[in-house]
């Protein structure tokens, strides 16, 4: 069992000026690759509309921690865009802090909040936070090539299914990896450009279950292993393909298919609307 680490190693003094020159060259290469990736915008939009698939090609390697952050922000985005949250995640966190302060200051406010169903709202946020924390643990213990967001009452017959495929991402720590903020910006620019998450029809409140493909012996305890799980074929899934430009010769894939199984969150994030 291998354990992924995402802390970047600091540069040693011995690297000196040669390290600086390599860094400048690396940034020039990244800039050129960004220009190349922009040419795929029209093709990406067309494919997304026709096949329900979005390709996001990053102009460099990413860290394992960046992969975790991408998954977390995508989960928050899907829940909000599919009307399972009444506001964005950051707004929910801020409002929770405001309510906590008000509860300490005024008993009358506290009673009003309790009567307005605040316990349900806070439970939704608590469940989401719990999933995010344990996803971080999973990414620190195993290579995770695919993640599923399943909206509906059953993982076998979900109402909506989103797959994030990271098999073509080159994962590497250190100074030469792309910053997480740059990856997030490119990811969401592509998603909103292709309109992948839009839905004209009203969406009913549902539960959301997260599943991740990881090494069977990674040692994670919170997730439930689903050895016999198979992707549902009764509905069209929306796929977000994350890749590194020119990564054909540098892919890291699971050793064998038998060593990787699906893990399911024991917590279902229940949709909530004020």
Give per-residue burial for 161-170: e unless 16+ CB within 10 Å, then b.
bbbbbbbbbb
Q: CATH code at 112?
A: 3.30.900.20
Strand pairing category for 160-168 and 238-244: parallel
Please give the pLDDT value at position 1.
Answer: 45
40 lies in some domain: no
Q: Which domain holds residue 115?
A: 52-270
138 lies in some domain: yes
Q: How large a percentage of the chain has pLDDT more than 90?
A: 53
191 lies in some domain: yes
Mean pLDDT, the chain, integer: 80
Please give the pLDDT value at position 256.
Answer: 54
6 lies in some domain: no
**27: pLDDT strictly greater than 60:** no
Total number of domains constituting the chain: 1
pLDDT digits (tens, 9 = 90+) for 238-273: 999 999 998 654 445 555 567 999 999 999 999 987
pLDDT digits (tens, 9 = 90+) for 32-61: 444 544 555 666 666 666 778 999 999 999
Please give the pLDDT value at position 21.
Answer: 55
264 lies in some domain: yes
256 lies in some domain: yes
121 lies in some domain: yes
**9: pLDDT strictly greater than 80:** no
pLDDT digits (tens, 9 = 90+) for 97-152: 887 777 666 655 455 444 445 677 789 999 999 999 999 999 999 999 999 999 99
Please give the pLDDT value at position 11.
Answer: 42
41 lies in some domain: no
Please give the pLDDT value at position 51.
Answer: 75
């Amino acid at each position: 069992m291998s354990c992924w680490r995402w802390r970047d190693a600091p540069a040693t003094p011995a690297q000196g000026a040669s390290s600086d020159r390599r860094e400048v060259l690396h940034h020039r290469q990244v800039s050129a690759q960004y220009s190349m990736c922009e040419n795929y915008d029209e093709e990406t939009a067309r494919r997304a509309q026709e096949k329900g698939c979005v390709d996001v090609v990053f102009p460099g390697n990413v860290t394992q921690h960046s992969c975790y952050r991408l998954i977390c922000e995508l989960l928050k985005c899907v829940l909000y865009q599919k009307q399972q949250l009444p506001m964005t995640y950051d707004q929910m966190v801020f409002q929770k802090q405001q309510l906590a302060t008000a509860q300490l200051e005024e008993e009358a406010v506290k009673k009003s909040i309790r009567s307005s169903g605040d316990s349900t709202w806070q439970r939704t946020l608590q469940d989401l936070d719990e999933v995010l924390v344990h996803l971080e643990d999973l990414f620190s213990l195993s290579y995770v090539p695919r993640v599923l967001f399943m909206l509906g009452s059953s993982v076998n017959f979900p109402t909506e299914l989103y797959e994030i495929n990271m098999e073509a991402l080159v994962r590497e720590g250190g100074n030469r990896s792309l910053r997480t903020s740059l990856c997030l910006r490119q990811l969401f620019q592509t998603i909103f450009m292709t309109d992948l998450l839009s839905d004209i029809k009203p969406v009913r409140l549902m539960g959301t279950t997260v599943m991740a493909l990881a090494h069977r012996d990674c040692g994670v305890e919170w997730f439930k292993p689903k050895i016999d799980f198979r992707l549902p074929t009764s509905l069209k899934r929306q796929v977000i393909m994350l890749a590194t430009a020119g990564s054909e010769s540098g892919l890291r894939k699971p050793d064998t298919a038998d060593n990787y199984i699906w893990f399911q969150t024991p917590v279902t994030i229940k949709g909530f609307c004020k």
